[in-house]
Amino acid sequence: MHYKNLILSTFLFLTLFQCNSTPEKNSDLKLPNDVTFSIKLTSIPQELMGESISLSFQFYRCPETTSKECYVPILENKLEVGKIKSNVTEGKTSITLPKNWTHFAIRILGIEKVHGKFSPGHNPFWYSPADITKLGSNITKEFRFLSQENKIPNRIQEEIAKKFTPILVFHKDKKYLPSNIEKYSSFFAKKEYTLPEKDIRRKTKGQTTWNYVEFPDFIPIKNPTHLYYHVRYAQSTVSGTQSEALPGFRDDLNYWYEVGNGDMVISYWIWYDWNEGPTKFGNIHQGDLESYALLISKEGKPKRILLTGHDHILLDTDFRNINSLKNHPILYVAKGNMGADGGNPTSAYGGYTVKLNAGNFLFNYISDPWDVFPSFDPKESILVIPAELSDKELTSVKIGPGTPKPKSQEQTNPNGLEGSTTVYVDARNMIKQRIEKLVMWEEPGWVNQKSSQDPDGHHRVDPSVASFFQFQGRLGKHPRTVLKIAELKQFGASPENAPFKTNIEQHFTFERPRMERNHTDREGNYGPKFYGDDSTPQK
């Protein structure tokens, strides 16, 4: 067909074009000509004794982060610290600052032995020109190593995970229901694929390949649903997320926890064997990990919920603005349009659609992708429920705000649904299956390692999931997105492994639910369909 080349050209242009700029701000700043850096490493782990450590000082000129030479340092200095002999070491160096730099990073080299086990904080640690102006010509920087072990005891994590396990709602003819990854354990074999030329890791980390595992296409007769979870303190940080950092330096194996006010975040991952996309046109791929997170108080009270999908935050809102039963959030999983089984995005509301943007008018016309969320309807929908919920507890499920009085004008729902009707549904006949097992996701670097500060004193992991916990890469036979013009079909990339996936969606899940936000697409949005109050959660 004559428009095939047009489709391909348009697709390549749209997927390669990204705009992310950092304005050059040096001209108005009074930067020193020379800076002396005093570096101190403290609480150095025993595993690094005898290792040769060095420090790299890199300056970049990157006013536009899409420019070709952006990620090539314009100046690089190195400081040899030498072999580590104690848990504290120091070094000092002086550097003449280059002209018109925009980003500066100090990186510790030679600590690979503890990568994923002990964090020195942001590595590299980034400075802006404004930072250097403020700090002056003598700068002291301390890198203090912290264990990345989770300080929340397993018993508490398990209690929290069980308490907030979801009630999942599907169209009755949904083909792929949540299952488990353990069935693939005997087939686990890491492979490599070539990274796309546009992949930013080629610039920031020098990577040309990445990892994936290819699973067989079998679906066993018994394919139980397992739910994967991770509980952490809300005040958690991932290296590379400083506001001063260049994009692409995020390090999902370098993170650290702080108790803060005691609030916790619990993240859940739901595994599907296949994703068939929001349309027959594509985004078909093996494996799918959909996730959501809850912010809870130190007393275990739910405060907020965050749902992700399609590389977006779909919803971040007060827990009272959704329906729940005995703390179990009621979540809806979409089918696609034109008979597609769907990309499995998760919403807190049912009975609505969102028309997705396929990239341009032509793609929208050809594929017309939709997320079609089921209603809580015994005739049209089925449920996957927590194992501990009895049939009797589903006799009268509240759907809707259930508020005793209308909200004020200031709180009117932008979707115009403030007056949503509340109904009570007998859902006993909707039960299709139960979540048979909850699996706690262990910190990847500590799997089956001797503990240092873990409150449980061990990091033992079942062999059927140990390989998955430690694996960095994509789970499924489709590691890259491929557009097949002749078939008018796109095969999307299989998901990055949890809990520290490198795609945008998981970045959102790692941050705690924190403010009112939702995603609006081509037509429709995933925002609140009602505003609730303390009476909305069903006890």
pLDDT at residue number 412: 47
For 37-41, 50-54, 216-220, which range has the lowest pLDDT when averaged over its residues?
A: 216-220
Q: Who contacts 91 (Cβ-Cβ below 8 Å, separation ≥6)? A: 38, 39, 55, 79, 80, 81
pLDDT-derived band at 305, boundaries 50, 70, 90: very high
- Over the stretch 508-536, which tens digit does the pLDDT of each residue have? 666 789 999 999 999 999 999 999 999 99
pLDDT-derived band at 414, boundaries 50, 70, 90: very low
59, 246 Cβ separation under 8 angstroms: no
Across residues 387-405, what is the average pLDDT? 91
State how beta strands 118-119 and 324-325 pair: unpaired
pLDDT at residue number 162: 97
- Over the stretch 133-172, which tens digit does the pLDDT of each residue have? 999 999 999 999 999 999 999 999 999 999 999 999 999 9
pLDDT-derived band at 219, boundaries 50, 70, 90: confident
Instruction: Give the rounded percent of residues in the chain with a pLDDT score beyond 90.
Output: 74
CA–CA dist 117, 460 (Å, integer): 15
**Secondary structure class of 287 (helix, strand, coil):** strand
State how beta strands 346-347 and 328-333 pair: antiparallel
